[in-house]
């Protein structure tokens, strides 16, 4: 009995070869990926991350696009999540029951350290109705605080405060503007205009 190995090998490799031909990228796509400092590992559209501890929801992050990118080396991975096209972060609970609510257009989430850098049209609201507006804000879960070194505007029932730089607890209840600016009218004091 003789076996025709040429026919068997040829038959086995034809489908594999056709599969390889069907899966190709353009040179431009390959160069763009090769030159990129950050290679996307995973992308989630209309995503929702829920962080909980012992069954209690601590924070919820919803975003139009969540793109995991890998920085670092083979010895030390530094995965980050790029947050694009708008997001919301509910602090101290979920979408229906929370202590503070942050919105921004873009940002970066370091999942290992639970630190979020929010950028572009950042708005943080507390339960009292105070509203912080800035272009850059960092939230750190481990210290339960937010901060920025950029210009800020805070709108509250008492008026509008301006300044540069801010430190606050994550619930935005106890905050301090680092370099306040503008006019501040104290209760009981009226401004005289000539």
pLDDT at 69 over 90: no
What tokens does 190 get?
A: 């009226």
Cα distances (angstroms) measured from residue 121 to each of 35, 76, 85, 95: 30, 33, 11, 20
CB atoms near residue 106 (< 10 Å) = 18
CB atoms near residue 103 (< 10 Å) = 14
In angstroms, the CA 55 to CA 67 distance is 27
Q: Average pLDDT of the chain? A: 79
Strands of the chain (E only): list them: 39-53, 56-72, 77-91, 100-104, 106-110, 115-126, 131-140, 145-156, 159-169, 175-181
In angstroms, the CA 103 to CA 86 distance is 7
Query: Residues 20-32: pLDDT tens digits?
Result: 444 444 445 433 4
In angstroms, the CA 156 to CA 183 distance is 15
The whole-number pLDDT of residue 8 equals 46
More confident residue, 38 or 33: 38
Pick left, alpha or beta for residue 112 (phi over 0 → left; psi -120 to 50 → alpha; otherwise beta).
Answer: alpha
More confident residue, 37 or 79: 79
Query: Residues 113-133: pLDDT tens digits?
Result: 888 999 999 999 999 999 999
The whole-number pLDDT of residue 9 equals 43
pLDDT at 98 over 70: yes
The whole-number pLDDT of residue 113 equals 81
Q: Considering the entire predicted model, what is its pTM? A: 0.71
- Domains in the chain (CATH in brackets) are 38-181 (2.60.450.10)
- pLDDT tier, 77 (very low <50, low <70, confident <90, very high otherwise): low
């Amino acid at each position: 009995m003789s076996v025709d190995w040429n026919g068997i090998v040829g038959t086995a490799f034809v489908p594999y070869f056709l599969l390889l031909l069907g899966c190709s990228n353009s040179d431009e796509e390959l160069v763009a990926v090769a030159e990129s400092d950050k290679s996307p590992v995973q992308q989630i559209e209309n995503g929702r991350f829920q962080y909980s501890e012992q069954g209690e929801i601590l924070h919820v992050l919803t975003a139009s696009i969540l793109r995991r990118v890998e920085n670092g080396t083979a010895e030390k991975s530094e995965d980050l999540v790029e947050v694009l096209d708008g997001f919301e972060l509910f602090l101290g609970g979920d979408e229906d029951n929370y202590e503070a609510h942050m919105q921004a257009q873009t940002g970066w989430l370091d999942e290992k350290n639970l630190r979020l850098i929010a950028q572009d049209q950042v708005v943080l609201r507390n339960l009292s109705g105070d509203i912080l507006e800035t272009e850059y804000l960092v939230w750190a879960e481990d210290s339960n605080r937010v901060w920025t070194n950029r210009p800020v505007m805070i709108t509250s029932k008492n008026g509008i405060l301006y300044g540069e730089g801010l430190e606050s607890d994550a619930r935005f209840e106890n905050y301090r503007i680092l370099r306040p600016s503008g006019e501040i009218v104290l209760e009981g004091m009226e401004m005289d205009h000539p």
